[in-house]
Structure 1
């Protein structure tokens, strides 16, 4: 048996390991991305609930670009939601100066709600893929 074979149908090289051919997959070194918590959560979601899409992204080499993009979108949306909700509810520096504990409670509440929205819409949502 040959050590390496090329599959024309998917454009991948395979290497012989024992009795099996495994795809030769590598991440291009110039495309190393840092993936934050949101990207990792979405990766776990894809791995568990959308295995075909996950495999397609891995085999095409687009997984890390995709996850880095999702992570950036989630962080930006979270920041925007926290700012908008705090403004809408009147949580400002005057409240912080007057009653720090009330400000912390309100901001934690807002952040938790914003995180739930991001999780539902970007990370676990049907249109998340």
Structure 2
């Protein structure tokens, strides 16, 4: 939340600086390629205040498995800055999906390795399923 507030304050300062014609000229001189520094921000008036109309990038709603939920909880509790960064950039769901797929792949590999280490085969499973 603090990170979002800092970004909003910085964006508001840049927007107010761009309204000054002298500063606009200086910025144009220092930006010869014409790269857009920031897109236009719209405001909604509420009482005496102008509130910026900002929204987070939309991510599709996805049901995650056990491991993605565990990783999200870990990030929330122990790596708060990383969690907020991924959340505000709109990359949290993609990151959690990647973690879920990685864990499932590793789990499958480990299961195969354990089966091979114990010498179990399909024939043994058919002959003595309880052993």
Moved over 4 A (4+): 13-19, 31-34
Q: Is the 8 A contact 1:27 1:61 kept in 2?
A: yes
Higher gyration radius (CA): 2
Is 1:36 aligned with 2:68? Answer: no
Is 1:25 aligned with 2:56? Answer: yes
Larger strand proportion, structure 1 or 2?
1
State the TM-score, normalizing by the size of structure 2.
0.56
Gaps of 5+ in 1: 103-129
Gaps of 5+ in 2: 1-7, 15-37
Q: 1:69 aligns with which of 76, 98, 106?
A: 98
Which residue number in structure 1 is paired with residue 79 of structure 2?
Answer: 50
Alignment RMSD, CA only?
3.5
CA distance in 1, matches of 2:107, 2:68: 13
State the TM-score, normalizing by the size of structure 1.
0.57
Q: Is the 8 A contact 1:34 1:68 kept in 2?
A: no
How many residues end up aligned between the 2 structures? 94
